[in-house]
Amino acid sequence: MSRNRLYPYYFVLPALLLYVGLFIVPSVMGAGLSFTDWNRYSPEVHFNGIENFRTIFASSKRYDLYIGNTLLFALVSNLVKLVPALFLALLLNGQVKGRNFYRTILFLPTVLSFLVVGLIFRSVLHPSTGLLNGALRGLGLPFLAGRWLSDPRLVWASIIGVDAWKGLGYVMTIFIAGLQAIPQDYYDAADIDGAGWWRKLGYVTLPMLVPAITINVVFGVTYGLKVFDIIYVLTNGGPGRMTEVINTAVFNEFAAGSYGLGTALSTLLLVAMAAVGFPLLRALTKKQVES
Amino acid sequence: MRRRQIGLGAAKQALLVALSLVVLAPFAIILSNSLKTRVEASRMELMPAAHPVWANYATVVERGKLGLSFLNSVFYTVAATAGTLLVTSMAAYVLSRRQSRLSGFLYAFIVFGIMLPTNFVALIKVMQALHLLNSRWGLVLFYVASNVAFGTFIIHGFVGSVPRAMDESAAIDGAGPLRVFFSVILPLLQPILVTTAVLCGMGIWNDFVNPLYLLNSSSAWPMTLSVYAFFGRFQQEWNLVFADIAMTCLPILAIYLAGQRFIVSGLTAGAVKG
């Protein structure tokens, strides 16, 4: 018992104080303030029940759309990265000439900020002078050239595409690290059993990749639900307000001084993330304890 | 059979070359257009400039106040990463070594924060009350706080692999808890500290939204905010915007190419063992 003298709890105190003070307290306080009319223009804060949530879900302002956009982005942006990244990882984990070079290149966008990536693509996707439309015209496909960031039919595809450009290499790299940890014996055994490429993928590779898949899904979903930078820079919620997500709406409410409404939206995000993320996180911590 | 394999190999190479071009083309656009005149750059062509205008870079540094915001970014990244490593390694060490109900609860409570989104509006209220709003140190403290969950999580797993006999033999020699931790344990944690530093450091260097909420005065802005403000003011002058973007990307790209192994292994840590 006296061993614990070596491990005093005051070691935990700085981390705990900062975490509680600047992370937990704002979340809890924010949850409370989401039931008030807190705003910039009045010094007093009044309890107003579920008024903010009624505004969010049952008013003509389309907050429900923004929430739907957030969920859709979290789902689609991950699907379009996970599946191609898996196949790229398999490709670059095999015998391919120049594989280290390709790994380096494909990972490159990961180290840039979303803000810079967004600005770069504001130029690339420019309807009249941008690189993409220029290339399409040059290839004799002018009918494919589009107004990528202002046409309502194209704008989500553009955002998801830019996000994949930036994020694919990271997901792929995690998969490669996972693949490298699979013992070659397993594949040899599968070869002896006469398993083909797809069977080996289904019965050896995928089950052994579960930790890497878990990591990618946890990071991908938390990122997707919290998304702000890339949308703020690319479209700022436009055209109209059709690409608005929860965190851009929070920013708008904050700028407009409607603090109660802003914090109510953040609280909804918290609930969504806890609901989606808690099981994922438990899977992750369990794995770590086992290993 | 043989011919089919060669065909497959060629298809793989073609796919990889095409993807690499898709990744590299925007970088080529940035570099070539950052050296053009305003009129040339407005066409945004891939062709390199006939007469490179190096003065664009000088203009950007001067008008975009890039020097100051570069220093700000360096300060936030270094100070907050160092702070995170210190507080999370101490916490992870004690929480991993103690095997009580309380330590288990505290660990779960801290790790729960990985899933927590920031409530910015309420955060501002709290920061204001603590006189941490619009303050460089305030932002640093917030970064440390927001990295506590993740840092403690990754370091906790590693501490388990350091034998307890190390702590105990040091204690028998008469060292107190602080001595044991700083002179025996901390050096052994070095690999995981590098990983944590890479993860936190890159996140902070590239962060945009937190300073957007927490800093008003442009003299405290990091690179990301300055670049965005610069873009707002000079949208018609793509040559300058591209020069600005290039200068923001170059330091981090150089660090990536030089320390690629560290960065990739840092970012993928945990993917293997889970």
Q: Decide if B119 and A27 are in contact by the 8 Å CB cutoff.
A: yes
What is the predicted pLDDT for the residue at B34? 87
Residue B56, min C-alpha distance to chain A (Å): 17
**Which residues of A are less than 8 Å from B156 in CB distance?**
288
- Tokens 């409410």 label which residue? A253
Q: Average pLDDT, stretch B202-208?
A: 92
The rounded radius of gyration (Å) of the Cα atoms in chain A is: 24
Q: Decide if A115 and B208 are in contact by the 8 Å CB cutoff.
A: yes
CA–CA–CA angle A180, A186, A192 (5° rounding): 135
Task: Name which of A132-136, B16-20, B204-208, B210-214 the model is least confident about.
Answer: A132-136
pLDDT tens digits for A58-112?
Answer: 877 788 899 999 999 999 999 999 999 999 999 999 888 888 899 999 999 988 9
Q: Which CATH superfamily does the domain covering B65-233 fall into?
A: MetI-like (1.10.3720.10)
pLDDT tens digits for B48-93?
Answer: 777 788 888 888 888 877 889 899 999 999 999 999 999 999 999 9
Q: Decide if A270 and B119 are in contact by the 8 Å CB cutoff.
A: yes
Residuewise pLDDT in 10s, chain A (291 residues): 456 788 999 999 999 999 999 999 999 999 999 999 888 888 888 888 888 888 888 877 788 899 999 999 999 999 999 999 999 999 999 888 888 899 999 999 988 999 999 998 988 898 887 888 888 888 888 888 888 888 889 999 999 999 999 999 999 999 998 898 889 899 989 989 888 889 999 989 999 998 888 888 888 988 999 999 999 999 998 898 899 999 999 999 999 998 999 999 999 999 988 888 778 767 766 655 444
Residue A291, min C-alpha distance to chain B (Å): 7
Cβ burial B12-24 (10 Å sphere, 16+ → b, else e): beeebeebbeebe
Residues 6+ apart with CB under 8 A from B270: A211, A215, A288, B154, B157
Residue B199 has pLDDT above 90, yes or no: no
Residues 135-164 of A with CB under 8 A from B: none
Beta bridge partners of A47: A36
Gap between the Cα atoms of B84 and B211, Å rounded:
18
Residue B272 has pLDDT above 60, yes or no: no
A62-290: CATH class: mainly alpha
**Which residues of A are less than 8 Å from B117 in CB distance?**
225-226, 247, 266, 269-270, 273
What is the predicted pLDDT for the residue at A16? 97
What is the predicted pLDDT for the residue at B58? 87
Q: Where are the domains of chain A?
A: 62-290
Closest to A163 measured CA to CA, from A218, A118, A98, A216: A118
What is the predicted pLDDT for the residue at B161? 87
How far does CA B122 lie from the centroid of its chain? 25
ipTM for the predicted complex: 0.88
Residues 47-86 of A with CB under 8 A from B: none
